[in-house]
Chains A and B, each alone.
Chain A
Amino acid sequence: MGRRVAIVGAGMTKFVRRAQETGKELAFYAAREALNYCGMKLGQIDGVVLGSAPDTFDGVHMKGEYLSDGAGAWGKPYMRCYVGGGTGVFSVIHGWYHIASGAFNTCLVICEEKMSSFQPHPQAAFLTIFDHTTERPLKPNLLWIFALEMNRYMSTYGLRKEDIALVAVKNKNNALDHPAAQIAAPVKLEDILNSEVLAWPVQRLDVSPVSDGAVALVLAEESIARRVTDKPVWIEGVGWALDTAYWTNRDLCYPRYVEEAARMAYRMAGITDPRHQIHVAEPYDPFDYKELHHMEGLMLCGRGEAPQLTVDGVTRRDGELPVCPSGGLLGVGNPIAAAGLMKVAELFYQLRGEAGKRQIARKAKRGVAQAWGDLMQVGTVVVVGI
Chain B
Amino acid sequence: MALKQRIEQVGNVKAWFGELPVESLYTAGVGGEQFFRTLKDEGVFTGTRCEQCGIVYVPGRIFCERCLTKLDRWVKVGSEGTLKSWTVLYLGLDGKPQAEPEIVGLIELDGASTVLVHRLGNIQPAEIRFGMRVKAVLKPKSKREGAITDIRFFEPV
Contacts and interface: CB of A to CB of B under 8 A. Distances in A.
| Direct contact between A and B judged by beta carbons closer than 8 A | yes
A28 B24 contact: no
B63 A119 contact: no
Contacts of B24: 58-59, 117-119
Interface in A32-75: 32, 35, 41-43, 56, 58-59, 69-70, 72, 74-75
Contact of B18 (A21, A70, A136): A136
Contacts of A24: 29, 61
Interface string A192-223: 00000000000000000000000000000000
A19 interface: yes
A74 B50 CA distance: 15
Interface residues of A, number: 34
B126 interface: no
Nearest to B22: A56
A136 B20 CA distance: 11
B27 A20 contact: yes
Give the most central of A25, A41, A70, A124: most B CB within 10 Å: A25
A31 interface: yes
B130 interface: no
Contacts of B66: 42, 74-75
B62 interface: yes
B25 A119 contact: yes
Contact of B26 (A41, A42, A59): A59
B25 A21 contact: no
A74 B62 CA distance: 16
B26 to A, nearest CB: 6
Main secondary structure, interface of B, reads mixed
B33 A20 contact: yes
Interface string B1-36: 000000000000000101011111111111111000
Interface string A87-119: 000000000000000000000000000001111
Given A32-B70, A56-B20, A118-B22, A22 B65 contact: no
Nearest to B25: A119
Nearest to A134: B16
Contact of A20 (B20, B30, B67): B30
Interface residues of B, number: 24
Contact of B65 (A69, A116, A133): A69
Contacts of A132: 16, 18
B18 A22 contact: no
A310 B23 CA distance: 41
B25 A117 contact: yes
Interface in B50-104: 61-63, 65-68, 70
B35 to A, nearest CB: 12
B22 A125 contact: yes
A159 interface: no
Given A25-B31, A25-B62, A128-B20, A31 B26 contact: no
A355 interface: no
A247 B30 CA distance: 41
Nearest to A56: B22
Contacts of A75: 66
Contacts of B62: 25, 28
Given A25-B31, A32-B70, A35-B68, A117 B63 contact: no
A124 B21 CA distance: 8
26 contacts: A20-B29, A21-B30, A22-B26, A22-B27, A22-B30, A22-B32, A24-B29, A25-B63, A28-B63, A31-B68, A32-B70, A42-B66, A42-B67, A43-B67, A58-B24, A59-B26, A70-B63, A74-B66, A116-B25, A117-B25, A117-B27, A119-B24, A120-B23, A124-B21, A125-B22, A136-B18
The 3 closest A-B pairs by CB, nearest first: A59-B24, A22-B29, A69-B65
